[in-house]
C-alpha cells in the first residue's frame, strides 16, 4: 500500500514541480496586476516655528498616493483625509525637515485599511529657516 502511494506521488515529479512553480508565478502576477493606484493632490497644513521665518518656499500641496484594489481606493473620501507637517520644534537656522503626517479621520471605520498602502510624495518637507520671527 505504501509503495503505491509513493509511486503515484513521485511519478512525473518534474512535471508536478513545474506546474507548482507555474501556479505560484500566476498567483503573483495576478496579485500585482490587481493592485491599483490613485493619486490626489491635497493641501498640507504647516505648523511654523515662532522664532524663525521661512526663507524658502513652504509647500502648500502634497500628492497623496493610495494603493490597493480598485473597489477600495475609490470608496475613500479624500476630503476626509488631512495632511500636516510640524516645524514648531525648529531650534536652529538652516535647512530643516518635517515628516508629512497623514490623518485619516476614522477611515478605518468605513474601509478595510489593512490591504491599503497610503503615503505622500514627498514624504517630508524641506524648508530653510532664518532667525527673526515672523516675516514682515
pLDDT tens figures, 30-45: 877 778 889 999 999 9
pLDDT digits (tens, 9 = 90+) for 90-121: 889 999 999 999 998 877 777 777 788 899 99
Q: Which residues contact 6 (CB under 8 A, 6 or more apart)?
A: none
Would the pLDDT of 136 be above 50?
A: no
Angle at 14 between CA 12 and CA 18, to 5 degrees: 120
Per DSSP, the residues of 84-112 read EEE-TT--SSEEEEEEPEEE-SSGGGTS-
- CATH architecture classification, 36-131: Beta Complex (2.170)
Length of the chain: 136
* Per-domain boundaries in the chain: 36-131
Output DSSP code: residue 127.
E
Would the pLDDT of 8 be above 90?
A: no
> From CA 120, how far away is CA 87, in angstroms rounded?
17
Q: Sorting pLDDT into bands at 50, 70 and 90, what band is 133?
A: low
> From CA 84, how far away is CA 44, in angstroms rounded?
5
Mean local confidence (pLDDT), 51-74: 90
> From CA 42, how far away is CA 61, in angstroms rounded?
5
Amino acid at each position: 500500500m505504501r509503495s503505491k502511494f509513493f509511486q503515484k506521488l513521485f511519478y512525473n515529479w518534474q512535471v508536478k514541480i513545474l506546474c507548482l512553480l507555474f501556479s505560484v508565478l500566476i498567483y503573483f502576477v495576478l496579485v500585482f496586476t490587481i493592485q491599483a493606484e490613485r493619486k490626489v493632490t491635497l493641501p498640507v497644513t504647516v505648523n511654523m516655528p515662532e522664532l524663525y521665518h521661512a526663507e524658502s518656499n513652504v509647500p502648500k500641496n502634497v500628492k497623496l498616493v493610495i494603493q490597493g484594489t480598485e473597489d477600495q481606493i475609490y470608496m475613500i473620501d479624500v476630503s476626509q483625509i488631512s495632511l500636516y507637517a510640524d516645524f514648531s520644534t525648529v531650534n536652529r537656522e538652516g535647512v530643516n525637515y518635517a515628516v508629512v503626517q497623514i490623518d485619516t479621520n476614522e477611515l478605518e471605520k468605513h474601509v478595510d485599511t489593512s490591504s491599503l498602502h497610503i503615503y505622500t510624495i514627498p514624504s517630508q518637507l524641506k524648508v530653510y529657516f532664518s532667525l527673526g520671527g515672523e516675516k514682515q
